[in-house]
Amino acid sequence: MASNGVCASTEPPDLYWVMAALLSSLTIFGNIVVFGLNFTRSVPQNSTNFIITNLATIDLCIGLWIALLKCLPRLPMPPNGNSFALNVFCRFYCSDYPLWALLNASVFNLLLVTADRYLSVITPFFYKTTFSQQANLLGCVALTWVLGAVSVSYTTVAWTPSGVNSCVIDSSLPPTMLLWGGCWTLFGRFLLPTVLMVMAYAHISYCLSRMPEESQGNRLQKRVTLSCFSVVFLFIICWLPDTLFYFIYSLKLSSVEDLMRLDSWMYYLVMNLGYANSALNPVIYAFINPNYYKVLKVIIERHFTPGA
């Protein structure tokens, strides 16, 4: 449904829109529920849930953009006489820049969630007096959006108008630009954040294990921390295949060039696995995070249990 040849370099296979529609629908529904629970103040209003709301907002926007860019027919090209509009259309629309900016913002938000959990356990005084203050928290949340937009700005350089009917990836660009994108995807967006988050949660787990087990606050900390780590673990599982695929593609190795193409089914499968990350995050909140689990349990028992 979405393929009409406008963005010629990345037109998806036939019926791909069915898979994209399913993913985008699940993503939109799940994250609306999470956003709604926070917006109506059904869950505790603390810094952790505020950051989770930001992540749900990012994931919701990802679901909307997947629906717009992957399910619906592509928008028509601007008039050929307007070169500025053509360049904006190719570089910001056909490049999927908004989607990639959101996906990168979600990574920075995961780092912020990790910092929130780390500081709350390791330096609780600094956490309460400085980090969790509203102005500081708003600044950190805004920074995740800014860094997400800036970190993938290089993608807007790669696309160019091709005649009057389509946009294509500029073949005249130096190979080093593609390699830079592959290296950033592997090291900047995946490996470095993953190492930092795993190290932080390992230290958190060690410190929590040394606290009194009977403490109710300690048990709650462990449950919340487990849910946040589960989100990080899910991020690793969902994005590792796509990250490796794009890095290998950026190397332009002749031995795998036929397999590593941006118009192959393999590419779209690993991309869908990455998109699924945004759909599965709300499931983790619902079943592991005690703040959301308790509220959802009450809602289900009240409205969906026979005889309630």
Q: Read off the pLDDT of residues 82-122 as tens digits, 9 standing for 90 and up.
A: 678 888 888 888 888 999 999 999 999 999 989 998 998 88
Query: Is a pLDDT exceeding 90 seen at residue 19?
Result: no
* Per-residue DSSP letter, 43: S
Query: Is a pLDDT exceeding 80 seen at residue 253?
Result: no
Q: Residue 35 belongs to what domain range?
A: 8-292
25 with 283: CB under 8 angstroms? Answer: no
Indicate which CATH number applies to the domain containing 184: 1.20.1070.10
Residue 298 within any structural domain of the chain: no
Burial (0-12, 13-18, 19+ Cβ within 10 Å), 120 = buried
Beta carbons within 8 Å of 97's beta carbon, 6+ residues apart: 91, 152, 153, 155, 156
Instruction: Tell me the pTM.
Output: 0.86
Q: pLDDT per residue over 61-84, tens digit each?
A: 999 998 888 788 778 888 766 678
Radius of gyration of the chain (CA): 21
Residue 1 within any structural domain of the chain: no
Residue 5's nearest CA partner among 75, 95, 81 is: 75
Residue 235 within any structural domain of the chain: yes
Per DSSP, what are the bridge partners of residue 7? 167
Residue 264 within any structural domain of the chain: yes
Residue 41 within any structural domain of the chain: yes
Q: pLDDT per residue over 199-227, tens digit each?
A: 998 888 888 877 776 555 567 677 778 88
Q: What is the pLDDT of residue 1?
A: 47
- Nearest-10 Cα torsion for 181, 183, 184, 185: 80
Residue keyed to tokens 């399913």: 22
What is the total count of domains within the chain? 1
Indicate the average pLDDT of the chain.
Answer: 83
